[in-house]
A and B are shown apart, each in its own frame.
Chain A
C-alpha cells in the first residue's frame, strides 16, 4: 500500500476526533454566533413596572415544567469541590439539579434526583407529600391549619408606583440598569442588573434574567468583584410553558413504603443551630455586617478554620462573596464586605 493511501486511512480517525470535538464545542459556538437575542428596548423602570404589573394582584405563574440548576463556586476554603448528598452544606459548592412541574398555585411537584435515588415534594390541593426513595418513606406533611395568608399589596399602590418606589428605595445604595438581553434555557430574557454602590461590597452585581415573553424570572446570578464567572447561580436549564401531565401531581404511597405524618424533613433538618446570645446588625443594605457571639472551639477541627488567616485581634475567612471575622474575644462578624470593613466594625 502506498504511503499516500496510508495517510488517507489515518485521516479517517482524525476526522472522527474532529467531528466529536466539534459536536462538543458546537453549543457555545452556535450561541456566540447567534449573539444576544433582541427584545424590545426597555428602561429599568419600564421593566420593573411590567414585572410588578404582572406579579402583583392577580398575576399568576403560567403552567410550566423545567429543570433548575444551581451552581455555586463561593470559594469557601476547606470544602470539597463536589460534596455528595443534598445537605445544606453540599449546596454551597458544585452543581445541583432540581426538576419542577407547576400546574397552578395549588398543584406543583419538585423532584431532586440523586444517583439511584430521588426526593419529591408533591403538593396538590392542600395535600403535601414528601417522598424519599433512599429512605423508602412517604411523609404526609402537616401544614399549619390557618397560617398567615400572604398579605395582599395595598390596593392604592399600582405597579408603576411600586416600581418607582422600589427603584427609589434601591437607588440610595444600588445602581439599577438593564443589561444586554440574555438567552436562558433557550429563551430570550431581559437582564436586570443590580450593582451595589458601596466600594467595600464584595458583590459586583446581581443579575436577574426575566423571560421576555412571560416575565417569569428565569435566572439569578451573583457576581463577585473581579470575577468573570458567577459565584452563585440558580436558573432554568430547560423550561416548557405548558400544562404538565396530571400524573405529576397525584401521589399514592407505593406498597412497602413507610408512611408517616410529620414536618417537611428537608426543612427541619436544615434548620441551623443559632448560637445563643445577641445578634446585631450594623450597616445597611449590601454592606450590612452581622455580629454574633461565637465560640471558636466549636469549629476546632474544622478545615474551614484551618484555612483562616490570622489578623490583629482575630482570624479572617474570606470567600468570593462573604468575609467572616472570628475575634479573639468570642464574636463572629460576617458580611458581603471586605475583611477590612469587618475589622473596622469589630472596633
Chain B
C-alpha cells in the first residue's frame, strides 16, 4: 500500500511545484505583483509630498511609517486584491481547459481530487505572496519616507514597534484568508467554464455587486452573508485590547465560503467529462 500512495503524493508535490512555477513565471503574475507593490509606494510618496490633511489614518502614517501597512491594506482590499486573486484563481482550471492541456494533466496519476487540491494550494500561495508583497512594500516605503517607532493604536494606546509589526502581520494573515475565500469562489467558477476570462469577470462582477449591495441600506439584512463585507473587518487588530470578535466572525465566514465553494468545485471537477 505504501508504495503507490507515496508515488501519488510525490506526484502531487511535483504537480504543486509545477503549478506554483507556472503561476509565478507568467508575465501577467509578475506584472500584477509589481502593481500591487507600487500602490503602497505611491500612497507613501503622496502623503510625504502633499502632507496628510483630513483622514486621521493618513496623519498616523506621517507620524509613523508602520501605519502605511494598514493604509495600504485598507486601500487595496476592496478592489485591487480581489481582482488580482480572481485573475489567478479564475484561470486555474478554465485556462487549462481552454488551452486543451487539462486532458493531458488528468492522465497524470495524481487524480482529479489531488489536481484540484494542487490548484487550490497554488491559488492560496499566490494570495499569501500578494499580501506579503504589499506588507513588505509598505513597510519599506514607510521606513524610507517616515519616522518609524512605537505604534499608536486606534484606542490611543502606544505599543512597541515589535508588537506593532505583529499586529500588521495579523492583518496580512486575515486579508490573505479573505482572499483565499474569494479565490475558492473564483476556482469554483473556473471549474464550471472553459474560458478563463469568463471566470475572472464573473468573480469580479460578484465582488462589485456585493459591494453595491453593502451600501444600499434596505439590503442591510443580507450584508453579513456577503464575503466582501468581511474583507475590511481587520481594524480590531488596531484596538487595545485586541478586539477579536469581528475578525473571528470574519474568519468563520471565510471558512464557510471555502467549504461551500471548495466542495462545489470538487463535485463538478470530479464528475464532469473533460473533453478539451
Point out the residues of chain A lying under 8 angstroms from B104, CB to CB: none
Q: A111 contacts B217, CB within 8 Å?
A: no
Q: Which of A71-99 contact B (CB under 8 A)?
A: 80-82, 99
Q: B60 contacts A12, CB within 8 Å?
A: no
Q: A135 contacts B217, CB within 8 Å?
A: no
Given the interface pairs A81-B218, A254-B156, the reply to whether A118 lies near B239 with Cβ below 8 Å is yes
Q: B217 contacts A257, CB within 8 Å?
A: no
A32 to B56, CA, bound (A): 45
- Is A314 located at the chain interface by the 8 A CB criterion? no
Q: B156 contacts A133, CB within 8 Å?
A: yes
Q: How far is the CB of B63 from chain A (nearest CB, A)?
A: 4
Scan B57-83; emit 1 where CB is below 8 A from any A CB, else 0.
Answer: 101101110000000001000000000
Q: B152 contacts A256, CB within 8 Å?
A: yes
Interface size class of B (residues with CB under 8 A): 35 or more
- Is B18 located at the chain interface by the 8 A CB criterion? no
Q: How far is the CB of A3 from chain B (nearest CB, A)?
A: 10
Choose, from B127-135, B160-168, B175-183, B259-267, the stretch at the interface.
Answer: B259-267
Q: How far is the CB of B67 from chain A (nearest CB, A)?
A: 10
Scan A84-120; emit 1 where CB is below 8 A from any B CB, else 0.
Answer: 0000000000000001000000000001010111101
Point out the residues of chain B lying under 8 angstroms from A138, CB to CB: 156
* Contact among B150, B239, B271 for A113, CB-based, below 8 A: B239
Q: How far is the CB of B265 from chain A (nearest CB, A)?
A: 9
Q: B156 contacts A131, CB within 8 Å?
A: yes
Residue on A with the closest CB to B240?
A: A247
A245 to B157, CA, bound (A): 14
A245 to B241, CA, bound (A): 9
Q: B270 contacts A9, CB within 8 Å?
A: yes
- Is A344 located at the chain interface by the 8 A CB criterion? no
Given the interface pairs A23-B256, A257-B152, the reply to whether A136 lies near B60 with Cβ below 8 Å is yes
Residue on B with the closest CB to A67?
A: B245
Scan A9-31; emit 1 where CB is below 8 A from any B CB, else 0.
Answer: 11011011101100100000000
Q: A131 contacts B158, CB within 8 Å?
A: no
- Is A286 located at the chain interface by the 8 A CB criterion? no
- Is A255 located at the chain interface by the 8 A CB criterion? yes
Summarize B's interface: helix, strand, loop or mixed: helix
Interface size class of A (residues with CB under 8 A): 35 or more
Point out the residues of chain B lying under 8 angstroms from A115, CB to CB: 232, 235
Scan B92-132; emit 1 where CB is below 8 A from any A CB, else 0.
Answer: 00000000000000000000000000000000000000000
A252 to B152, CA, bound (A): 11
A81 to B219, CA, bound (A): 10
* Contact among B252, B256, B271 for A9, CB-based, below 8 A: B271
- Is A269 located at the chain interface by the 8 A CB criterion? no
Point out the residues of chain B lying under 8 angstroms from A116, CB to CB: 57, 74, 154, 235, 238
Point out the residues of chain A lying under 8 angstroms from B149, CB to CB: 255
* Contact among B154, B217, B232, B260 for A133, CB-based, below 8 A: B154
A12 to B271, CA, bound (A): 12
Q: Which of B187-244 contact A (CB under 8 A)?
A: 217-218, 220, 232, 235, 238-241, 243
Point out the residues of chain A lying under 8 angstroms from B154, CB to CB: 113, 116-118, 133
Cross-chain pairs A/B with CB under 8 angstroms, 26 sampled: A1-B271, A9-B267, A9-B270, A10-B267, A10-B271, A13-B264, A13-B266, A15-B263, A20-B259, A23-B256, A67-B245, A111-B239, A113-B235, A113-B239, A116-B74, A116-B154, A116-B235, A133-B56, A135-B56, A136-B60, A247-B240, A247-B241, A251-B157, A254-B152, A255-B152, A257-B156
The list of the 6 closest CB pairs from A to B, nearest first, reads A256-B63, A131-B156, A254-B152, A81-B217, A13-B263, A118-B154
